[in-house]
């Protein structure tokens, strides 16, 4: 069975992004001597994947929230709770956090 390719997170419409319930972060992959590539997946109820994106960061401790928030901002989402570790299974997500539609800033 062929794996379905997911759209990039930034490609989601507002309606599609509003279906997201969690952001998942997978184990990073080395992308160079001092660079890591992270995979992030937005999932709806029952962990149905909606979209996936990759991002890079320096190879030193960077908070998961900082890695994910850039992608959440683009589609109008925000983290709505704490990161929780997931059981380590090869090829699967390592951490997850709940998300919600971002509250408009008071202007």
Domain boundaries in the chain?
Answer: 9-99
For 40-94, write each residue's pLDDT tens digit: 999 999 889 999 999 999 888 889 999 999 999 999 999 999 999 999 887 789 9
pLDDT computed for residue 1 by the predictor: 40
pLDDT class for 2, splitting at 50, 70, 90? Answer: very low
Name which of 63, 52, 59, 54 is nearest 36 in CA terms: 59
Tell me what the mean pLDDT of segment 12-34 comes to.
94
Residues 11 and 58: their CA atoms lie apart, in Å, by 25
What's the whole-model pTM score?
0.88
Tokens of 79: 């983290």
CA atoms within a 13 Å half-sphere pointing along the CA-CB vector of 71:
27
């Amino acid at each position: 069975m062929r794996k379905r390719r997911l759209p990039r997170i930034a490609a989601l419409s507002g309606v599609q992004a509003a279906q997201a319930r969690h952001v998942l972060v997978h184990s990073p992959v080395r992308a160079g001597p001092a660079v890591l590539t992270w995979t992030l997946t937005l999932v709806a109820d029952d962990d149905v994947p909606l979209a996936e994106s990759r991002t890079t960061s320096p190879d030193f401790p960077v908070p998961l929230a900082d890695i994910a928030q850039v992608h959440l901002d683009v589609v109008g989402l925000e983290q709505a709770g704490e990161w929780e570790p997931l059981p380590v299974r090869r090829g699967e997500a390592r951490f997850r956090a709940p998300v919600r539609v971002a509250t408009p800033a008071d202007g």
